[in-house]
Structure 1
């Protein structure tokens, strides 16, 4: 069993009160949680990585709980996304370890979430930033929720670390007006519409 030793976590909470035009009735909240862990696969090639996803499930669940708390509770959360970054001695496939533990933790905790969790992966070093894509939790075609939240930590990921990120939002972009499927028209049957 690989050891993903947790070095630190960081929460980011953003309340958008204005974005040109008239001020919204309520600010839009976006939040993300990032975790830096030791990458047990750094510096070498390991053929079987998939089984290690199970080892990360407790981290995904605890990060999800903390993120929901930062959002002020699960009610009204209608957007989510995830991202991962490996340090210099890692490989991009190591970031794919986050697909199941990150995505399924949020989907399970948010209940009826049917849409795939948007994802981004990259390699970088300390201070590197990553744009965490956001999408509607029940219908991937809801354009008002196409968004991203930039996240990064000044001291990671180090050469032998992985940065795992989860993000959530409440409401679409302020003044969205690009058409497409509207939230009130979502059927939620297939995760697309």
Structure 2
């Protein structure tokens, strides 16, 4: 399989100071990175698609490192993450599943071995398709204060023979979280859930 062919990369960074209530002492930061790449399997069915996962690993690492840089360069400030993919109309949903391991393991590696599963979503769509990428805590999936989603999409992507792969990271709990449940400071960190 040849190297991954990137057409474009887009990033976004949000700083949320309040949601109508008191100002946060420190803004909640949410970062997203989208890489629009050629889908080598677009246009026809291929039985063996797993080799592309290996090709995607360096892209995942580069994207995860860029997210940490966007959030200040210190991996320890990252408390939430997620991933996703939008597959162009010439592809199939299964092509997006190839991003699960390269995207998820890249973020875990860059963050020093986070335990929680990296939540994910994927869909097939054309240029302008939007995707809500789920976010959970990096160490325990049951921490409700960190449940979030980041909407991504580009007006000119993905084209039929492309896919847009996405990674997102956040720096903490939602600004005015008060839905209860397991608190981040009470994480045991044994199983990635609690």
TM-score strictly above 0.5:
yes
Structure 1 runs, 4 residues or longer, greater than 6 Å off:
none
* Number of the residue aligned with 2:99: 98
How many Å separate the matches in 1 of 2:42 and 2:170? 32
How many Å separate the matches in 2 of 1:136 and 1:84? 20
> What count of residue pairs does the alignment treat as equivalent?
193
Instruction: Describe how 1:57-136 pairs up with structure 2 within 5 A.
Output: 57-73=57-73, 74-136=75-137
* Number of the residue aligned with 2:22: 22
Give the root-mean-square deviation of aligned CA atoms: 0.9
Structure 1: unaligned runs, 5 residues or longer: none
TM-score normalised by L of structure 1: 0.98
Q: SS at 1:101's partner residue?
A: helix
1:98-119 residue CA offsets vs partner (Å, 9 max, x unmatched) = 0111000000110130000000
* Number of the residue aligned with 1:50: 50
| Residues 3, 40 of structure 1: 8 Å contact kept | no
How many Å separate the matches in 2 of 1:181 and 1:130? 27
| Residues 3, 38 of structure 1: 8 Å contact kept | no
Q: SS at 1:133's partner residue?
A: strand
CA drift of 1:52 comes to 1.4
* Number of the residue aligned with 1:187: 188
CA drift of 1:2 comes to 4.4
Query: Is 1:32 the counterpart of 2:32 in the alignment?
Result: yes
| Residues 18, 176 of structure 2: 8 Å contact kept | no
How many Å separate the matches in 1 of 2:113 and 2:83? 18
How many Å separate the matches in 2 of 1:144 and 1:28? 12
* Number of the residue aligned with 2:165: 164
